[in-house]
Structure 1
């Protein structure tokens, strides 16, 4: 299992950081959900963990080695990232997209070994895309494209998987399949960090919650120890009742009303 860690990081896109003095180590081999209101820095933190953006100060490391010391190829062999906004490459089929996930492991771009082809086939099967393997990505629905990109991440086969709002565009059935898949990946020893907006989904499917508010980490731990009415009021500005989810027994928030001051 690989350990990914942020230590005292400020992260932003200009002079003013969005994430401030944040230290965070998601538990290895578990599913961690980043939750918090819009604009609190969840996706910004995830991009720093993926080395899409570089912290203004502080360090991000993998197994104790700072990112600055890792090559792009070396990092891609250990960390896979699915961004929130996904492009639609022209003329690329589903199978070709999934095969791109094997590029960090190949000596020559586009040349797939037997191991590579097996990884691609397994990823397609796991996401239920075998019948669409030869279909152009541009011809798919939004949900199908999302699953194709997820298959590419699976084919990359890294010990750390970072997913930014992966349930976007997915219907409820495929959302549940994806959330179950995240738990399966963790059971296989992978460290999964995901941004989720549905608090009840996060509580049910994540082993660990990291709650962000105004660029800071305000709570961190198992759902049963983190989620309470006071936190929901402080972070999300809603009044809730916390009940036990009847199937999984995890915390479930029943919203009574918004407490945000009207303008």
Structure 2
């Protein structure tokens, strides 16, 4: 058996009084694809930064190819480890070829010229990442997915044994997610070793050879996906009630998040008040990338009539919606929300008593969803992460989001059910039912003129 390419021993990293990683032990074999998974704040990004030498450990060691990273210069470390960051923004108007050529800097002396080996490495990287068509364009003119491929090409031009990626699928639609992970799998098949932080457990299970589950700064589990993604481990690490099964098409481990025995507001909504068979209200959900999966289960279990969209076909939230009998508004993979689809979303929003906007990444493709939500009378805005970490459009999306935030109920995902109950119930005046009891009926909803005329 070969020696591990990566060896981490008793690693501890702290920022002031906050310990982020504590006693991490892990190994990564050459030619393997390892996914770092775990809840937000578990230390995934910090571990990646320690592996590439940009963060120094307080104690413990990190070795790559037998070299202690902390003992190496930045140039020497960059000949062993290449990193593709989550943030693909570039401040200067470099063209794509210039960006990719930067990957050769660790191999060149300060006064050395451009060698044939450098040129060949750049050409291979352009072809492998499929960015040759962009070589003369400024990187600032490219989409988020295109910029990411350029930065991946830059990392490939470094020709390092280890490749690190921080949430490479976070801002991409399902088509680009699959394209990126298929490329990484092919690189690993050719001998590259890759470690990627990834939030979608089902994509991680399908593509990665091994998973490293972090929780509270410690390694909760490491091994093949089926050994790591167990119901007990997910409950302990994510505080999630989940079912682990096999995907009927791919055969990979498949995680389905379920609501707790009762909705998170603590009420038993298995049967609406008074034994009435009618549902307590309609809720439209805006999500994507798995951010709405748990919300769909919670709201459906609470008895609401739930709609969702627009989503890409193949998206985790699309599959979740259909698994519980919902009919999501969808567009094809890679496609954005076109005017016809937006109109379908607006009709569902107009019919809803409340709209829930999940903690979703916003790109040009799904920005129309966010705009459509501004027409809703009652909005619950889920914020588990700051919006600027999820905004891949810029000021335009920030303005739309802020207009929502000014009048929405902003909550963490665990408090969505309570917020929905409060928003719907406060506008449900109580009337006599003629029998001495009382019934609640929806208050009239203000509608925009354009929707009254539909």
When normalised by structure 1's length, the TM-score is 0.93
The answer on 1:117 being equivalent to 2:123 is no
**What per-residue deviation string (whole Å, max 9, x for no partner) do you get for residues 116-140 of structure 1?**
2222122222222112111111121
Runs (5+) with no aligned partner, structure 2: 265-413, 416-454
Counterpart residue number, 2:106: 104
- Distance in 1 between residues matched to 2:204 and 2:41, nearest whole Å: 18
Whole-Å separation in 2 of the counterparts to 1:110 and 1:31: 34
Change (3 A) 1:258 1:153: farther
Describe the shift of the 1:167–1:109 C-alpha distance in structure 2 as closer, same or farther (beyond 3 A).
Answer: farther
1:235: how far off?
1.2
TM-score, scaled to structure 2: 0.55
CA-to-partner distance for each residue in 1:201-258, whole Å, 9 max, x for gaps?
0000000000011111000000122211111111112222212123332210112226
Which gives a bigger RCO, structure 1 or 2 (Cα 8 Å, sep 6+)? 1
1:1-263 residue pairs with structure 2 within 5 A? 3-108=5-110, 111-257=113-259
C-alpha separation in 2, matches of 1:147 and 1:173: 14
CA contact (8 A) 1:89 1:137 kept: no
Displacement of 1:198 in angstroms is: 0.2
- My pick for the range that moved more, 58-67 or 136-145, is 58-67
Q: 1:195 to 1:110 in 2, by over 3 A?
A: farther
CA deviation string 1:126-161 (max 9, x = no partner): 222112111111121222111111110111111011
Residues of 1 paired with 2:213 and 2:260: CA distance?
A: 19
How far, CA to CA, are the matches of 1:195 and 1:110 in structure 2? 35
Q: Which moved more, 1:165-174 or 1:184-193?
A: 165-174
- Larger CA Rg, structure 1 vs 2: 2
Identify unmatched segments of 5+ residues in structure 1. Answer: none
Q: How far apart, in 2, do the equivalents of 1:32 and 1:221 lie?
A: 9
Count of aligned pairs between the two proteins: 263
Secondary structure of the 1:10 match is strand
Moved more, 99-108 or 202-211: 99-108
The CA RMSD measured in Å over matched residues stands at 2.0
